[in-house]
Amino acid sequence: RQTEVCQTFQLRDALTTRMKLPSRIITLALVLAFCSVCTAQSRRLPARQERPNATFKDRQTAARIDRYVQSEMRKYKIPGISLAVLRDGEISILKSYGMANVELAVPVKPETIFQSGSIGKQFTAAAVMTLVQDGKLSLDDKISKYLPGTPDTWREITIRTLLNHTSGLGDYPDEISLKRDYSEDEYLTTFQKAPLNFAPGTKWDYSNVGYVTLGILIRRVTGKFYGDFLREKIFGPFGMSTARVISEADIVPNRAAGYRLVNGELKNQEWVSPSTNSTADGALYLSIVDLAKWDGVLTRDAAAIANGQRGKLFTQSSLEEMWKPVRLRDGKVKGYGFGWFTDTIHNQRLIFHGGAWQGFKSFIIRFPDEKLTIIFLANSWNTNDFKLARGLISIFHPKFALDQTTHPRTPGVTDAVVDHEPKVTALFRRVMMQLANDKVEKDLFTPELQARFPTQARQWGETINSLSLPVAVIHLGELIDRRNEGNQRVYRYQLTDIGRTLVCTMKLTKDDAIAEIELLRK
């Protein structure tokens, strides 16, 4: 809005010179015109983007959403957001905010296409489930049945363990460069050379490689690229007309640009190779309209199944498998199904997933028992997507709201403070991930704290792993307090998950050794 005001007064100067009218008359005319445009836009957008028969309650809710989303956009410098709230599979609220393309001053609209990030995994899982339903494969088939030549270490990997992230495959090996093109065979060869992180079925670890492998498996079973199979089985039949695999070469109408902040300055998304943007771990283009139609499919299929009928896409067993938590060999349960997190929080059953990729963030949260869904797409890597999602949920379910006190020693602290020591924050995130993965560099800690290992480190790791997706939530951890206590510096970070908050305190000596870690669940 400041930019628009500046442009208004530049136009005033030009008109004063060319038309030789008094400056005060031109100024008054332009200000009145500017105000009328702003007023028209503010009145037009809610009417255009809500249902024609929106209730008073819907309009109140939309106003609360507006205030919250706009505050988050200002805080995190998010260029644009597309958002939808659905009830019973039908759009209740549809909102567009900000810019799809900053350079060209193109606003976000419902048709704007964003990159999916990992919410694309639920479509890969759906494609696999259609093959299961058609008898083309079984969830407990060993993947070696379809991928000949797999190493002995892969012999216990099944399709099920790939879908629920218990295969032992981790993230991309160091040998894989995101800026180089690979064939499917080259991907597989590189993946198979990497050691497994654990025996299949014994642990849960989010694995992009597992979903890339599922995409390759879909081609081996069907003879079709997984993106073509999705278009044939899901996108086409259910009217998701703009959903497709990413292509930066193709002309894609209404495509948003992705952004990131570098030293507080907005920059374009980083480039990756075409093959990197075509894998089945989350490389789709989707609009909010596409995702609304997808939610309608899920809602109507669930309703049909509840009435003893078969869904148009899924059977009862498929939906149950997709949204059922995985049970590990030791009996522990992780709230993840097939391409969906699943949990019960504050007595509310919900399934959800986020995505983060190449300057974009996304989230879909479904409350299946009350048939409520919240979806958003944002074109900034710096969007705190878990916090944004939780704030939106709290508008409908206040129990999800962030606590007004995040730590007894810092009453009232809920927002991040200015972080003047990014190296310390990087150290904090590094240590949190090491604890989560049970791979701690002991030299980072004081001898006194090391003496409490491994029991203490294991307890910390269990607490961190209670988060839905530790790698994402830790990355988004925000500094909420910084102080000195004697000879130690104290840093307090807030990790915001969908239904939980983890407040983490790290104390450093003058030599930058970690003297203490405290974890408080809220």
Residue with tokens 């015109």: 33
pLDDT number for residue 58: 79
**How many Å separate Cα 366 from the centre of its chain?**
14
**How many Å separate Cα 277 from the centre of its chain?**
17
Which of these, 425, 420, 413, 423, lies nearest to 501 by C-alpha position? 413
Phi first, then psi: what are they for 280, rounded to 5°? -90, 15
What CA–CA distance (Å, rounded) separates 520 from 209?
32
pLDDT number for residue 427: 97
pLDDT number for residue 452: 95
Answer yes or no: is pLDDT of 47 > 60. Answer: no
Q: Please name the residues in contact with 232: beta carbons below 8 A apart, sequence gap of 6 or more.
A: 224
What CA–CA distance (Å, rounded) separates 148 from 511?
53
What is the radius of gyration, based on Cα positions, of the chain? 25
Span 380-400, pLDDT tens digits: 999 999 999 999 999 999 999
Answer yes or no: is pLDDT of 215 > 70. Answer: yes
What CA–CA distance (Å, rounded) separates 502 from 492?
10
Answer yes or no: is pLDDT of 297 > 80. Answer: yes
What CA–CA distance (Å, rounded) separates 245 from 213?
16
Residue 39: Cβ-neighbour burial (10 angstroms; 0-12, 13-18, 19+): exposed
Helices (H), 134-240: 159-163, 184-193, 208-222, 226-230
Q: Is 285 helix (H, G, I), strand (E, B) or coil?
A: strand
Q: Label residue 54 by pLDDT band (50, 70, 90).
A: low
Span 76-128, pLDDT tens digits: 999 999 999 999 999 999 999 999 999 999 999 999 999 999 999 999 999 99
- Supply 496's token pair: 């915001």
Residue 509 is classified by DSSP as -
Lowest mean per-residue pLDDT among 5-9, 334-338, 340-344, 418-422: 5-9
What CA–CA distance (Å, rounded) separates 479 from 469?
19
pLDDT number for residue 53: 53
Q: How far, in Å, are 160, 176, 194, 395, 454 from residue 197 at the CA level?
A: 17, 17, 9, 40, 20
pTM (predicted TM-score): 0.87
Q: Please name the residues in contact with 161: beta carbons below 8 A apart, sequence gap of 6 or more.
A: 167, 168, 200, 201, 210
Rounded to an integer, the average pLDDT of 328-353 is 97
Answer yes or no: is pLDDT of 408 > 70. Answer: no
Answer yes or no: is pLDDT of 404 > 80. Answer: no
What CA–CA distance (Å, rounded) separates 23 from 12?
7
Q: What percent of the chain has pLDDT over 90?
A: 84
Rounded to an integer, the average pLDDT of 166-178 is 95
* Average pLDDT, rounded, for the chain: 89
Span 477-516, pLDDT tens digits: 999 999 999 999 999 999 999 999 999 999 999 999 999 9
